[in-house]
Amino acid sequence: MDAAPTATDVVNYNVYYNSGGGNIADIAAASYLDVAAWVVADATKNANSLTGDPSFLSPTDLHLAGTIANNAGTPIAGITTDIDGDTRSATTPDIGADEYTPPSCVPPGALTVSALATSADLGWTLGGTETMWDVEYGAAGFTQGAGTMVTATTSNPYTATMLTPNTAYEFYVRANCGGGNGVSPWIGPFAFSTACVAFTAPYTESFTTSSTPSCWSQSATSGGPWAFAASGGVNTVQCSTGPTDHTGNGGNYAWMDHSSSDAGVVLEMNDINVSTLTTPYLEFYYWMCGVGYSPINPLFIEAWDGTTWNIVGSVNQATAGWESFGFNLSTHVYNTNLVRIRFRTESGGSIDDYYGDPVLDDISVIEAPSCVTPTALMASNITTTSATLGWTENGTATSWQVEYGVTGFTPGTGTAAIVSVNPHPITGLTFETNYDFYVRAICAPGDTSP
C-alpha cells in the first residue's frame, strides 16, 4: 500500500501482508513495518487491522484458507452476503470479500525458494502447529498429480534434488496434520528457476539465434540492449559496408546500437570451467565503423574475481573488417577453476557516437596459442607519404611481420617486411590514399600468430 489516506478516510479491519518481508505500507514520507507501528503513528487508523499472511488458495483463487481473517471483521449495514453469495455473519464476519470457515488443517503460507543448478530448497511458513507436509514439484506448467510427490516430510525447507540446470519449475505444498484433521488445501504454484552450471572450456559462442544466448545475461546503467542479427542493423552511414556473420554459417553476431544515452551496456557470459586448460585465453572477433565521429566508443573486457569486476583489456579503435582480439586469462581465474567474462560498451563522448556500433562474434575461451596475436593496431604520425604503424604485443615476441597496401588489398599481395621495432615507420605512400595494414607475431622459426 502506498497511497496517503486523508483525515476523513476510515482505514480499519484490514489484513496487511508483504510476502517479501518488507514494510506493509509507505504513506507519503512515512513507512510502516506492521499494523502496530502504523497505529502508534496514527491512532485513528487500523485499530482493528491485523498483520499476517491471509493464505489465499492460489494466485488465481483468492478464497481464503488461513485463520487470520476469520471472524475478525465488523458488520457493514447492507452487506449480508460475500462474493460467492454466502451469508455473512451478522456479528463477527470475516475480513475481506470471502466469508469462510478455516479448514481444520490450515495450509502453509509465504512460499520461498533458494535454487542452485541441480537442487532447490523449497520453504514455507507454518499455517498452524503442523509438523508434516506434502510437497509436489515439476516443470513449469505441470498438472498437479503428474509432478514429483513427496508425502509426510518433516523437513522445512525441503530440498528437491536431481533438477535440470537452467530450467523453470513450480511447486505446491500442503500441511499434513494427521489424525482426524487430514490435510490442508494445496498452496501454490510457486515458480522458480534453477541456475546454470558452468560451461566447460574449450567453449565458443557464435550467436546462432536472435536472442541472448542461454545462460548469458544483459544489464545496463542506461540504454542498450545488445541485439543479435545476421546482417544489417549496425549503423553504416559513414562506412561503405557493414558486417555479416563472421562464422559464415548463416548465424548471427552481437551488436549494440549506440546513442548518447547508452552507458555501461553489458553482455555477460556464464561461468566457464577452465580446469582442462593450461593457460586460459579469451579470443573474439570485433567490428567497428570509426568514420564520422570521435572519439571512438570503447569496449571494455572485464573478468569477475568472485567479488568485483576487473578490466582485462579494452578495444578503442575502428576496424576495416572483422579483427581478432585475444587476452590471457590466467590471472583472472576465481574459485580455483572458473572464469566469468563480460563485455561493457560506453559512449566515447562524441555527439555523433551513434555512428560507432560495436559488433562481436565467435567469442571463445580456449587454450592460449603458443604465439599470441598482436592487438590494438594503430597508425600515427601520418603525412602525405609516410605513417608509423603500431600494435600491442600480447606475448613475448620481439619480431613481427607487417604487411600493408591500399584499402581492400588481399593479404599476401601487399608490401611486407619483417621488423623488430614497434612502432614501425613506413614511407613511400601515395598521397590522398587509404591504406590497410596487418601484423602477426613471430615467436620462433615456424611459429607465428594468426
Where are the chain's structural domains?
Answer: 109-193, 199-367, 375-448
Contact criterion met (CB below 8 Å) for 322 and 243: yes
Give the rounded percent of residues in the chain with a pLDDT score beyond 70: 96
CATH class of 199-367: mainly beta
Architecture of domain 109-193: Sandwich (2.60)
Task: Check if the beta carbon of residue 352 is closer than 8 Å to that of residue 293.
Answer: yes
Question: Beta-strand (E) ranges in 8-93?
Answer: 15-16, 25-27, 30-32, 50-51, 56-58, 61-64
In terms of pLDDT, which residue wins out, 151 or 4?
151
Confidence (pLDDT) at 1: 53
Helix (H) or strand (E) holding 36: helix 35-41
Q: Give dist(CA 363, CA 212) in Å, integer.
A: 14
109-193 and 199-367 in the same fold: no
According to the model, what pLDDT value does residue 263 have?
93
> Is residue 176 very low, low, confident or very high in pLDDT (cuts 50, 70, 90)?
very high
- The mean of the pLDDT values for the chain is 89
Query: From residue 387, how far is each of 16, 288, 419 by CA, in Å?
Result: 73, 22, 15
Residue 195: band (very low, low, confident or very high) from pLDDT cuts 50, 70, 90: very high
Strands of the 158-160 sheet, one edge to the other: 109-115, 120-125, 158-160
3-state DSSP call for residue 130? Answer: coil
Whether residue 177 is predicted with pLDDT greater than 80 in this model: the reply is yes
Q: What is the pLDDT of residues 142-165, one digit of tens each?
A: 999 999 999 999 999 999 999 999
C-alpha grid cell, residue 111? 512460499
Q: Are 268 and 316 in contact (CB under 8 A)?
A: no
What would the pLDDT profile of 212-245 be if each residue is shown by its tens digit? 999 999 999 999 999 998 877 777 666 766 788 8
Closest by CA to 395, choosing from 322, 354, 448, 346, is 448
pLDDT of 238: 65
The lowest-confidence range among 63-72, 123-132, 440-449 is 63-72
Residues 6 or more apart in contact with residue 209 via CB below 8 angstroms: 228, 252
The CA-to-CA distance between both ends of the chain, in Å, stands at 62
Residues with Cβ within 8 Å of residue 135, at least 6 apart in sequence: 122, 149, 150, 153, 158, 160, 171, 172, 173
Looking at the domain that runs over 375-448, which CATH code has it been given?
A: 2.60.40.10
Residue reference for cell 555501461: 264
Higher pLDDT pick, 245 / 19: 245
- Res 237: pLDDT: 67
How far apart are alpha carbons 418 and 23 in whole angstroms? 70
Q: Is residue 139 pLDDT above 60, yes or no?
A: yes
Which one-letter amino acid corresponds to residue 262? Answer: D
CA distance 431 to 265: 40
Contact 86, 80 (CB under 8 A): no
Strand intervals (E) in 393-434 = 399-406, 415-419, 424-426
